[in-house]
Amino acid sequence: MTDLHISELRKSYDGTPVLDGLDLDVPSGRLVAVLGPSGCGKTTMLRIIAGFLHADAGRVELGGRTVVGPGVHVAPERRGVGIVAQEGALFPHLSVARNVAFGLTGLSRAERAARTAEMLELVGLAGHGERMPHELSGGQQQRVALARALAPRPALVLLDEPFNALDSALRAGVRADVRDALHATGATAVLVTHDQQEALSTADLVAVVRNGRVAQSGTPEEVYRSPVDSWVAAFVGDAVVLPATVAEGRARTCVGTVPVAGGGKGPGSVLLRPEQLRLVDPEAAAVSGVVRDICFYGHDSVVSLDLEGAPGPVEVRHPGPVVVRPGELAGVEVVGEGLLREADRAEDALA
């Protein structure tokens, strides 16, 4: 059981900082998703943890052991850090079983075979040991990669956007399998991804990274419900940010008056998730607008409306099919609390 502490991690390429004093704590046995846009430094961080890159400054501790620090750089093979790469990175010249057994050194042949079988069983691929990697589907390859990483009982498992190459139908299943396998072994794991759905649905904790620093970390619910700023809010999910005038815990907006937490006063903006907005009969609603566009997703639909006083079209996530058509009038109401934002932040959320 190992926890991971990263503090003040710095790395630049040709003078451009990529990691700018990044801090991250991962409690033992937990799966943390590091979520950020491309180029935010998350992959660099992962490669430094694994030992493939040297940090310019900062410290990485694994289970209380410093693996990166001033004058310290433990070689990758001595860290006990497993890695699952984007496309599995299975050795094409080795069978599935030999891939999984690759990291098992210092064991007898029988022990190695047993551990390999155990791992393949864990990822649901028992009996596939003699196949060659190219004979497996993408999802199976990914699960073998996980089995290979877990086999030597690493202190930490790093997952580098491991579901990217899978098609969306497979993705959810593989994700769940990986999560279960990780939990079953009790491994501490870091999942790097730019996909917010993946981060929120798979991880125990989410750390949102921007410009080489952790902007916010917490449980998926915290990050989604209480983003520290509009950028985080917009990155972890769709957001509707509306100008508002706040007084006594209520904000007056173009979709009506919304209860907000905290006691701000005066002009500002309010953040709502599209699923907090509901379409209602325009006759009965206090606020209504013209339907601009409808995207049907099956389980729900996203309807954009032109509302008076709104800086742009407002998106409403409506469960199931909708009856209105573009050009028609629809009413809107708000469910639950809004999140109060300072006025100046409203701009970059919409930018």
Partner 1 sequence: MTATLRPAGASAPAGRRRARRRPPAVLAVPATLAAALALLPLGYLAVRALENGPGYAWDVLAAERTVELLARSLGLTATVVTLCLLLGVSLAWLTVRTALPAPRLWTVLATLPLAVPSYVAAFAWVSALPGLAGFTGATLALTLACFPYVYLPTAAALRRVDPAQEEAARSLGLGAWRVFARITLPQLRPAAAGGGLLVALYVLSDFGAVSIMRYETFTRAIHTSYRASFDRTPAAVLSCLLVVLTVLLVVGENRSRGRAGHARTGSGTARPPLRLGLGRWTAPALAWCTAVAAAAVAFPLATLGYWIAVGNSATWEPGRLWDAVQNTVTVAGLGALATVLLALPVGVIAARYRGRTARLLEQAAYAGHALPGITVALALVFFSVRYAYPLYQQLPLLVVAYVVLFLPLAVSATRSAVLQAPPVLEDAARSLGRRPLQVLREVTVPLAAPGVAAGAALTFVVIMKELPATLLLRPTGMDTLATRLWAETTVSAYAAAAPYAAALILVAAVPAYLLGRHRS
Residues forming contacts to partner 1 in the complex (CB under 8 A) are 12-18, 37-39, 43-44, 47, 50-53, 75-79, 81-83, 85-87, 89, 91-93, 102-103, 105, 145, 148-149, 152, 154, 158, 165
CB 294, CB 303: distance < 8 Å? yes
Q: Is 213 helix (H, G, I), strand (E, B) or coil?
A: strand
Q: Shortest distance, CB of residue 112 to partner 1, whole angstroms?
A: 13
Return the beta strands (E) in 238-323 as ranges: 240-247, 250-253, 256-259, 266-272, 277-280, 287-296, 300-306, 314-319
Q: Which is nearer to partner 1, 103 or 249 (CB)?
A: 103
Q: Shortest distance, CB of residue 1 to partner 1, whole angstroms?
A: 19
Nearest residue to 209 (alpha-carbon basis) of 18, 56, 54: 18
CA separation for the pair 44, 143 (Å, rounded): 24
Q: Which is nearer to partner 1, 135 or 293 (CB)?
A: 135
Q: Which is nearer to partner 1, 87 or 222 (CB)?
A: 87
Nearest residue to 323 (alpha-carbon basis) of 284, 275, 277, 279: 279
Q: Shortest distance, CB of residue 202 to partner 1, whole angstroms?
A: 21
Nearest residue to 191 (alpha-carbon basis) of 209, 203, 173, 176: 203
First to last CA, the chain: 43
* 40 phi and psi angles, rounded to 5 deg: -80, -10
Q: Shortest distance, CB of residue 81 to partner 1, whole angstroms?
A: 6
Q: Which is nearer to partner 1, 174 or 258 (CB)?
A: 174
CB 16, CB 211: distance < 8 Å? no
Q: Shortest distance, CB of residue 90 to partner 1, whole angstroms?
A: 8
Q: Which is nearer to partner 1, 168 or 327 (CB)?
A: 168
Q: Shortest distance, CB of residue 76 to partner 1, whole angstroms?
A: 4
Q: Which is nearer to partner 1, 12 or 245 (CB)?
A: 12
CA 32 → CA 9, 43, 279, distances in Å?
A: 17, 14, 36
- The structure tokens 């704590």 sit at 25
